[in-house]
Structure 1
Amino acid sequence: MADRIREALMDLPVVEEKKMFQGVCFMVDDKLCVCVRDNSILCRIGEQQAAIELEKGNCNQMVSGERVMKGYVYVEDFTLQTTAQLNYWINLCLAFNPLAEASKKRKRSK
């Protein structure tokens, strides 16, 4: 799955891969865009779009501990068999990316 996402994002000027959330996350313009983890992808699509997609029933809300992570959804890989299915979610992530806030950079200890 990571290779498929890598290929879909290869024409973007600023993409970085980071190990996060027990998987590989693809950062676009220093902002988390999409992650691959186990048998699913984590998509950052914003609260409004997440509500729409959750209503359709084709994804699950991200929950970290007891905290609901609004704007983030998990999509199971069995629903991403075709390029069109994967591109649908990647395009949602890329559409939200310019609106997303970048996380604050952590200062490294010396």
Structure 2
Amino acid sequence: MPYDPQLAERMRTALQARAGVVEKKMFGGYCWMLRGNMLCGVEVGRFMFRVGKDQEAEALSRPGASPMDITGRPMKGFVWVDASQAVGEGLESWIDMAARYIDGLEPK
């Protein structure tokens, strides 16, 4: 998955104060893990957030969000978010939504 270095830096900055977050190089890009579970990632022009199935409809109702589909089949519980729709507090709100989901998972 190709990535945008500027978006990766925006994500790093947004996540730097959160405990338990680790950056990991995956699929040719970068993802961030929270307590060992995938939280979010970056691609060219967009972010990826793991929001879980229960929050997926809410997430997809937000501006700039779309289902995550890499192989022709949407990945349930994951969304793409256009980078222009996740700026400042907007980015923080996406991270908060993803973290709420991860908080309900067992650490790996």
Q: Could you tell me the TM-score, scaled by structure 1's length? A: 0.79
1:91 shift after superposition = 0.8
CA contact 1:23–1:38 (8 Å) conserved in 2: no
Q: Following TM superposition, by how much is the alpha carbon of 1:55 offset from its aligned partner in structure 2, in angstroms?
A: 3.3
Q: How does 1:78-89 map to 2 (within 5 A)?
A: 78-80=84-86, 82-89=87-94
List gaps (5 residues or longer) in structure 1.
104-110
Report the Cα offset of residue 85 of structure 1: 1.1
Question: Is the 1:63–1:69 Cα contact (8 Å) retained in structure 2?
Answer: yes
Aligned partner of 1:49 among 50, 55, 63: 55
* RMSD, matched Cα: 1.9
Q: Corresponding residue for 1:108?
A: none
Q: How many residues align?
A: 102
1:14 matches 2:20: yes
1:20 and 1:100 mapped to 2: Cα distance?
21
Distance in 2 between residues matched to 1:41 and 1:21, nearest whole Å: 14
User: Counterparts of 1:15-94 in structure 2 under 5 Å?
Assistant: 15-56=21-62, 58-80=64-86, 82-94=87-99
**Identity %, equivalent residues:** 30
Gaps of 5+ in 2: 1-6
Higher Cα radius of gyration: 1
Q: 1:2 to 1:67 in 2, by over 3 A?
A: same
Runs (4+) off by over 6 Å: none
Amino acid at match of 2:20: V
Counterpart code for 1:72? F
Q: 1:83 to 1:55 in 2, by over 3 A?
A: closer
